[in-house]
Structure 1
Amino acid sequence: MSDEDRTRADPGAGDAPPKHRSGVGTFGQTRALLRRVARFRRRRRWAVEGAAVLACLVVLVAYLGSRSDPEPGDGQGGHSGDVTAGAARSPGLPATDGRTGEAGPAMPGLRPRQRPPSPEPTPSASAPAPPPPSPEASALSVTQAEMPAEVDLTAVGARDWMHWGERGGTSTVRKRAGSGEIADEGGAGRRVGWDGNQEHVRWSDGSSQRSASDSSNGVYTCGAGNGFRLAVVGSGESRTVQLYAGTWMARGRLDARLSTGGPVRSAVLEDPYTGKSAQFTVRFTVPKDAKLLLTWTVEKVFTSHCGNVGLQAVAVR
């Protein structure tokens, strides 16, 4: 058999390798090379992206550090919130530092975002507060009770006393060697003497009439708005005044006040059908030479025939 025939019969015979084997080897090498190139490109992209992220972080940290650092000349640390809050706040509303949201005039020598120094507060010179008044300096009270059937003016008026009507509407009797603290300051209406009081008074140390044992005398005045004005001079010490008075078919009103000011203390005595008497007790304290002022007036009448208020005596102890 010839060599050509042997070759056809045995394709694997001979030294030359099959042609398809060399093609397979070249294709495998190409795929490996492509994988290496892809991995290289992927790693390079990661490196570039990482470097970019790192650079961004560095820039951000540097930017935040520059925003939080205090600027020179700013006594308080400058904050970015100052600008934002000022921009968002409506004009005219107070800012957190006491200024309005509107921009004020620029001051020379100041860098941006610097505030001018606040002016020093000017101390206000205020007058010292006056001391509170002493309670004793303005003490005043009025109480009312039924008048006793008999009153001894010498006993109850240890300092001073005064009696009206012993010899008519203008007649008065005072305590002999008394303090003279009681003053009759007049009053509206005509005074009329009266000798029919149910309550009686007596005394043993009078000045114009030395004594009386059973006096029912007094004075009265008719008509709404008429009455008596009396005063008692103070001495800085507590004083007690007894006022013996009455009404007839009328309402009488006693008002007590101090010449130094303060509230008015009042008491009312009323009987629309007949006569009625009362003992008013007034306790007061005023500085020396200040006065207790008393008004005893007809507030209302219940008859067309001379509804009135009457006055018998006043005593001070």
Structure 2
Amino acid sequence: MASEATTLTVPGPDGDREVRISSPSRVLWPEPGITKLDLAEYLVAVGDAFGAANGDRPISLQRFPGGVDGEQFFSKNPPKGAPDYVRSVIVTYPSGREHPQLVVDEPAVAVWAAQMNTVVFHPWASRAEDSDHPDQLRIDLDPQPGTDFRDTVPIAHELRKVLDEVGLTAWIKTSGNRGLHVFAPIRPEHEFLDVRHAVIAAARELERRMPDRVTTAWWKEERGQRVFVDFNQANRDRTMAGAYSPRALAHAAVSTPIAWEELDDADPTAFTVRTVPDRLRSTGDPWEGMHANHGSIAPLLEWWERDLENGEGELPFPPDFPKMPGEPPRVQPSRAKKPSAKD
């Protein structure tokens, strides 16, 4: 019925809030039969851990009005009629344009987003109060065709060693799909471009240590059956699914923080909207205390400068970015103009 609705009581820092959920029986994930109300109740159940990971950050909402098998779109600024407890901050996009961006300050905001059929939450690597300076270094390990989640496991362990060598503490979560996300808290002292260069420096070091398993090649035709370190996820306004965010996959997977001791035996398909609340209650949040200490990316930037001197320069940016200083041509290698015999 069009008038079908229910109300959830959502605890928060300022007391309980009542959040209306219309069409609560709408199925968002057909395969497991998970509804909009199920999603809202999931976000209440993981509210504290979700907020610790994604709160106080500009965030984009990936919305699926007809469920995960249907059309989708992104929302960045609060729509008209948003509750008064939903706020936004002004952020600057790569084009230089400024625009308001949503912030999830409390569980009720996440539940309100679920009311709008938000499935995936994409937080920035920076805080709302200082959106130009990331306080997280994020590294996306993306398995290419011919590889899978198991291939990312030894790479993540080696990446942890790389980051430890430069004084950074690595934390890990499943992507919710086939890969892994490795985060390191950093002092918000540098712009996004510097953080991107720090990620590239770490990725190149990882590639040198594991050349048959790791690639930093931007063009897919050059990657082979290796795990790609997606350095462009470190750019301004480039995000990945947040910790405890559901994914728009058939089995309702969740991007789930895990302890390093769990990694070798982890099964990412076991972490779902149905299972993660019980896991959180029984094991606690593996990311608790993540931001107690922040490291510096200065050593990685020294590696970046060293690599520049050795002829390893800038890498390509995403196609929607303005042309950047030192960037190589954005031309697929197989389509690049070859020098003629006369040249």
Instruction: Choose between structure 1 and 2: higher helix proportion.
Output: 2
Instruction: Choose between structure 1 and 2: higher strand proportion.
Output: 1
Q: Shorter-chain TM-score: which interval?
A: under 0.3
TM-score (norm 2): 0.17
TM-score (norm 1): 0.18
Say which one has the larger Rg: 1
